[in-house]
Structure 1
Amino acid sequence: MNKRLTALLADVFRLRESEIHPDLKKADVGSWDSLKQMDLVMSLEGEYGIVLMIPDIVRMVSVAGIVAVLKEKGVDLAD
């Protein structure tokens, strides 16, 4: 998985980078509430210079969902 994204997600959710994987879902992370979702959105927008719309945000309920949205926005996630 992309190291830059892994580091960002670990920071937002206060997890170890080793805990971040594509199958990780919102339900698996106790700190992933609506406020953390907005923190995630602001962090992703700032880091990658993108704008996330409500439909994008609603889909980002897993790491795989986040990756899919970023790819659709043209973000290069290759390491």
Structure 2
Amino acid sequence: MSVPQSIDHSVTGYSLPHAYWMAKASDLAYKDGAIIEQQARKWGFDRVLHHETRFTPPFRWRTPRRTRWPVTG
């Protein structure tokens, strides 16, 4: 597959080019708000909505050798 040059905004199902753009958007989600807006406009989106959440997991998870407790602060 060659790298798609633009996002097809009418896609409703799975395609490799659409999966490529979803991966790019996922990476963009971790960037600064101004960078997100700038790139989204380059991709043809006319509006950008932001949602920020501080992730503080209230659970523990196990690995084969140990139990880990998430700590924040």
Which band: TM-score by shorter chain?
A: under 0.3
Higher relative contact order (CA 8 A, sep 6+): 1
More strand by share: 2
TM-score by length of 2: 0.26
More helix by share: 1
Larger radius of gyration: 2
